[in-house]
Amino acid sequence: MGSDKLSAYKKRRHFKQTTEPKPRVSHSKSKRAFVVQKHDASRLHYDLRLEMGGVLKSWAVPKGPSLNPEDKRLAVLTEDHPLSYKNFEGVIPEGEYGAGTVIVWDRGTYENIKMDKKGKAISMSEAFENGTVEVRLKGKKLKGAFALIHMQDKNWLLIKMKDDEARKKDITKAEPRSVKSGKNLEEVRRDKSK
């Protein structure tokens, strides 16, 4: 079962070649999921994905997320991915879109904390359409409130909001490994080519 939401995802991939998940719309049973995948493609980047409307809304973050509220990280909106992509770790073959190695750098659940001016909660899709998403992440590495602010075209900024989970340390350097397998990119690549 395909979906209009995932048509861009589907169009870019050959599912006989790649082991990435098939395009299928589905919802988490309870809390909504987020994942950050570290992706060593033509350029190393981190893919932030938030479950929204049965798919994973996705942003490519070249420098990766930061726990420091002073950092503003460029986050480029990319195509929606199927929910099951949150578990994908492996090697996307040469010639395929995004060819390179992917690890599950962080994952967990999130809460929508965005409110309107009157303090009333607004939906994720409304927050996204308005260009200001605010979520509280509960991951292994990323915790606390984060904002995604729309700039122009596909460009957003990912910023840690000030709270007790804000940190100065460089989390991408301090914790480079997968939370799924404990492996780093090189180990996943090597294990695949065996």
Beta carbon nearer to Mn ion, 92 or 133: 92
Beta carbon nearer to Mn ion, 35 or 137: 35
Task: Scan residues 79-118 and list those touching Mn ion (CB under 5 A).
Answer: none
Q: Which residue stretch of 46-54, 67-75, 167-175, 177-185 sits at the interface with Mn ion (rule: CB under 5 A)? A: 46-54
- The answer to whether the beta carbons of residues 23 and 9 sit under 8 Å apart is yes
**Judged by CB under 5 A, how many residues of this single chain contact Mn ion?**
2
Phi/psi class of residue 172: alpha, beta or left (left: φ > 0; alpha: ψ in -120 to 50)? alpha
Quote the least distance from Cβ 100 to Mn ion, whole Å: 8
Beta carbon nearer to Mn ion, 9 or 110: 9
Residue 33: CB partners within 8 Å, gap ≥ 6?
Answer: 50, 51, 56, 83, 86, 107, 108, 109, 110
* By the rule CB under 5 A, 47 interacts with Mn ion: yes
Task: Scan residues 16-45 and list those touching Mn ion (CB under 5 A).
Answer: 39
d(CA 147, CA 114): 9
Q: What one-character DSSP code corresponds to residue 15?
A: T
Beta carbon nearer to Mn ion, 41 or 113: 41
Residues at the contact surface with Mn ion, assessed by CB under 5 A: 39, 47
